[in-house]
Amino acid sequence: MSVQHLKAPKPIIYPDSDGKPMADNTKQYRWIATLVAGLEALFANDPNVFVAGDLLWYPVEGDNKTRIAPDALVVFGRPKGDRGSYRQWEEDDLAPQVVFEVLSPGNTRKEMADKLAFYEHYGVEEYYLYDPDHGALQGWQRQGGQLMAIAPMRGWASPRLGLRFDLDGMDLCLTTPDGRRFVSPMQSIQQAEQEAQRAEQEKQRAEQEKQRADSAEQRAESAEQRADSAEQRAENAEQRAAAAESELARLRDLLNLPR
């Protein structure tokens, strides 16, 4: 009787890249970077909010074909940290609750319809789509088992993120609960540099004020010292006058002269 050796199944590989570029142009890349940087800053102090950009999301274990890479995603309830891809079954089976897409001229209507269907099917709660070339903003929120269009989007406040959505001309405007606006990483650097310059100027002004105060104090101390010296000289003169008067009286007494 022959013995058949069963081959072990090959492990399923989940690639970390789909071979597609993160962005088709500089404008799309700038907005993706702005979104990711702003979201990371928004939740910087919460260790259990994971933010990523252009990260492949695999929602189904054993299926490496069903996947998508949102331009930005946010997962509440998962720790920060580096990942090659987001494998949902390894993340307490939590789907990203919020995703963003930045439209580029290369995106087709069918592609975007397929993305909306994917996000709806696999449990996304909020989906936002921004077209920087036309200044268009769309959003969908889960109601029951469907992602329903949000209207109007201008002035909309995200229940999950707490962000307020608006358009400033054609630019997407995202404002945090404390009134800060999302800016690009370069703008953030420029703002930090300006703040550092203002702080340095304030420091220099404070040092100048201190120097002026020290000079005034030194002048006051010198004046006080001069006043003390004058007072001491007056006391000495008074003592000498008294001594002279006493000596004169002694001499008069000695010579029997009238005082």
**Which segments of the chain does DSSP mark as H helices, in order?**
26-42, 109-121, 185-254
Q: CB-based burial of residue 77 (10 Å sphere; 0-12 exposed, 13-18 middle, 19+ buried)?
A: exposed
Question: 127: how many CB neighbours lie within 10 A of its CB?
Answer: 24
Contact yes or no for 101/151 (Cβ under 8 A)? no
Residue 89 lies in a domain: yes
Q: CB-based burial of residue 199 (10 Å sphere; 0-12 exposed, 13-18 middle, 19+ buried)?
A: exposed
Beta strand extents in 27-102 (DSSP E only): 49-52, 57-58, 72-76, 86-87, 98-102
Question: Please, what sign has the CA dihedral across residues 245, 246, 252, 258?
Answer: positive
Domain of 177: which CATH number? 3.90.1570.10
- pLDDT number for residue 20: 82
Residues 173-194 have a mean pLDDT of: 78
pLDDT tens digits for 109-149?
999 999 999 999 999 999 999 999 999 999 999 998 899 99
Cα–Cα distance, 255 to 223 (Å, whole number) = 47
In this structure, the answer to whether residues 140 and 256 fall within a common structural domain is no
In this structure, the answer to whether residues 193 and 110 fall within a common structural domain is no
Which one of 153, 182, 211 terminates a domain?
Answer: 182
Which one of 129, 148, 182 terminates a domain?
Answer: 182
Residues 220-232 have a mean pLDDT of: 82
Is the peptide bond prior to 21 cis by the omega test (within 30 degrees of 0)?
A: no
In this structure, the answer to whether residues 89 and 108 fall within a common structural domain is yes
- pLDDT number for residue 60: 98
Q: Is the pLDDT of residue 27 over 80?
A: yes
**When comparing pLDDT for 220 and 28, which is higher?**
28
Q: Is the pLDDT of residue 2 over 90?
A: no
Which one of 182, 217, 234 terminates a domain?
Answer: 182
DSSP 157: B
In this structure, the answer to whether residues 191 and 168 fall within a common structural domain is no
Q: Could you give the number of structural domains in the chain?
A: 2
Q: Residue 82 sits in which domain range?
A: 26-182
In this structure, the answer to whether residues 103 and 139 fall within a common structural domain is yes
In this structure, the answer to whether residues 229 and 108 fall within a common structural domain is no
Q: Is the pLDDT of residue 214 over 90?
A: no
Rg (CA), the chain: 39
In this structure, the answer to whether residues 200 and 155 fall within a common structural domain is no
Lowest mean pLDDT among 102-106, 120-124, 197-201, 244-248: 197-201
pLDDT tens digits for 28-83?
999 999 999 999 999 999 999 999 999 999 999 999 999 999 999 999 999 999 99
- pLDDT number for residue 243: 79
